[in-house]
Amino acid sequence: MELIVDPTRKHFDIVGIPIRAKFDGNWGTYDINHLDRASLMIWLRSRGGQNDWAENTVAILLGHEWEEENNTMPEATDNFTDDFITNEVAETICKVGQGANCCRYLTMSSQGWSCEKKTSLRRLLDQRVEIGAINARADNCGGRRPRP
């Protein structure tokens, strides 16, 4: 397994997951955020298994583009309790699809919409807003219970 550093990503911040990879033909220690997309996919699959949706999600979080041919994102449903985010709440309060007005803590899981404001993911989302890495910037409510 030969992982390659993308020269256009070498200046990106580290996310704290060190890997051995080649840059300009030389082996070195880098961060997964420095890998080209193909190498990132190889690394994600290196322990067995393949989950296109999860792989695309990781790639997006690291600033890579979404690959349409691997788009297996599930559709949201409305059949959850009021503690969770329904499509109506996602549209009216979270403002999904409204760019900077969309809540930064709104996420999509395999079970539907979820709020990450009261989870450990909050810190990462706040950091990504600070550096301008995500479009959703708002903080629209006090938060809801995240999905298990």
pLDDT at 119 over 90: no
Q: Look up residue 84 and give its amino acid.
A: F
In the chain, the amino acid numbered 76 is: A
Quote the pTM value.
0.46
Find the mean pLDDT for residues 17-40: 91
Give me the pLDDT at residue 76, please: 38
Scan for tokens 């993911």, then name that residue.
121
Question: Rounded to whole angstroms, how far apart are CA atoms 145 and 87?
Answer: 15
Mean pLDDT score of the chain: 81
pLDDT at 16: 86
Between 110 and 2, the higher pLDDT residue? 2
Rounded distance between C-alpha atoms, residue 135 and residue 98, angstroms: 9
User: Given this model, what pLDDT does residue 83 score?
Assistant: 56
